[in-house]
Amino acid sequence: MAWRNCYKGALPFTAMVATECINVGLNILYKASTLKGLSFYVFILYSSAISTLVLLPLAFIFRGRTAGLPTIKWPLINRILLLVLIGFLAQLCGYKGIEYSSPTLASAISNLSPAFTYILAVIFRMENLALRSSITQAKIIGTLVSISGAFVVLFYKGPTIISPSQSLSLSLHSPRGTSETKWVIGGLLLAVEYLLFSGWSIVQTQVMKIYPAEIVVVFLYALCGTIISAPVCLMAEGNLRAWTLRPDVALVTIIYSGFFGSSISVVLAWALHLKGPVYVSIFKPLSIVIAAAMGVIFLGDALYLGSLIGSIILSIGFYAVIWAKAKEELSLGSSTDDKTPLLNS
């Protein structure tokens, strides 16, 4: 009983927080690499290929030791191809948005993900919109409060709490040398990324209902993504010198993305299967707090009163949604044992 509660409660929570930490780290590394000349298309193809190679032996081991898995058929392949298309477009918008702006803005814009996911989940009838229910009210209010807290972190600085000796950070506002037009375009691209990510989460949830084997599904996703992106990236990046990597931050970023990117994909597939898309998306605003903390600890950023106030507001909304999900699962009781524990439908 204790392990069951840990598996469905503490473990997904810890895994999603770790995922956001890794994502913020990847965004910072990618921005540093683009300043050194790393091409988006080189990054995508190489990191996808590394992820595929990492997952290949794991997929065969998991498939061989798991009994009762259905045969891989075209309906599953079609949905995985749809995942690849959505994922590639989301990556294109997201990383191009970071190139035009900064990782901090990317973390801030991610607060739109819960709202997008909740709306899409209601449209596709994966979420029960009972406005008189305290659970639904908590989800709606918690999402809005977390979004409000994220905007406070982004737009209100206030007095400085911790003053670094030398700031190495990427500013909350448009960095020096970046035009206001590019800053706005970057923000719009990042917003499109998280709209696509919300749709990706819902499609991924449906895939896991058809084939409940996270590692195998993620391997097929990485393999199809590598095969499809290879000709696109090779045609888009015609400079042969760009494909030659040197032992610098660009190589570190690609290897980091290849190894940890595959791990994140497995964790997301598992969390979507276990908890559903709304639970996964509510962790996205947490990346702003993580980005602020990492900036202070590792990059020497200043910590402002606005960041502290916004983080408190965000946490209130964050735990309101977590409370609603916990109460929802408790109300379902033992009837969920023979079902996929997604959202109410």
Q: Would you give the DSSP letter of residue 32? A: H
Q: Say how many C-beta atoms besides its own lie within 10 A of residue 323's C-beta.
A: 15
Q: Which amino acid is at 259?
A: F
Residue 158: left (phi > 0), alpha (psi -120 to 50), or beta?
A: left
**First vs last Cα of the chain: how many Å apart?**
26
The first and second tokens of residue 5, run together, are: 């509660």
Give me the phi and psi of 160, to 5 degrees please. -80, 130
Mean pLDDT for each consecutive 10-residue tract of the chain (345 residues)?
63 85 86 84 92 87 67 82 90 87 75 74 75 84 82 74 55 48 79 87 81 83 90 89 88 91 79 75 74 66 73 79 75 50 36
Contacts of 197 (CB under 8 A, 6+ apart): 90, 113, 116, 281
| CA-angle at 269, arms to 321 and 1, nearest 5° | 65
The first and second tokens of residue 128, run together, are: 């029960």
- What DSSP string runs through 242-286? GG---TTHHHHHHHHHHHHHHHHHHHHHHHHHHH-HHHHHTTTTH
Alpha carbons 271 and 201: distance in angstroms, whole number:
10
> What pLDDT score was predicted for residue 337?
46
Which pTM was predicted?
A: 0.73
Q: What is the dihedral of CA 334, 330, 117, 128, to 10 degrees?
A: 80
Alpha carbons 55 and 73: distance in angstroms, whole number:
20
> What pLDDT score was predicted for residue 164?
59
The answer to whether 301 touches 107, Cβ cutoff 8 Å, is no
Q: What is the dihedral of CA 268, 171, 188, 80, to 10 degrees?
A: -20
- What DSSP string runs through 207-247? HHHHS--HHHHHHHHHHHHHHHHHHHHHHH---GGGG---T
> What pLDDT score was predicted for residue 140?
85
Go through the chain and tell me how many residues it has.
345
- What DSSP string runs through 59-110? HHHHHHH--SPPP--HHHHHHHHHHHHHHHHHHHHHHHHHHHS-HHHHHHHG
Q: What is the dihedral of CA 112, 98, 268, 13, to 10 degrees?
A: -70
> What pLDDT score was predicted for residue 18?
87
| CA-angle at 202, arms to 46 and 51, nearest 5° | 20
> What pLDDT score was predicted for residue 345?
31
Identify which of 222, 273, 267, 282 has the alpha carbon closest to the alpha carbon of residue 91. Answer: 222
The answer to whether 309 touches 151, Cβ cutoff 8 Å, is no
Paired with 160 in beta bridges are 304
Alpha carbons 198 and 220: distance in angstroms, whole number:
20
At residue 162, the 3 state secondary structure works out as: strand
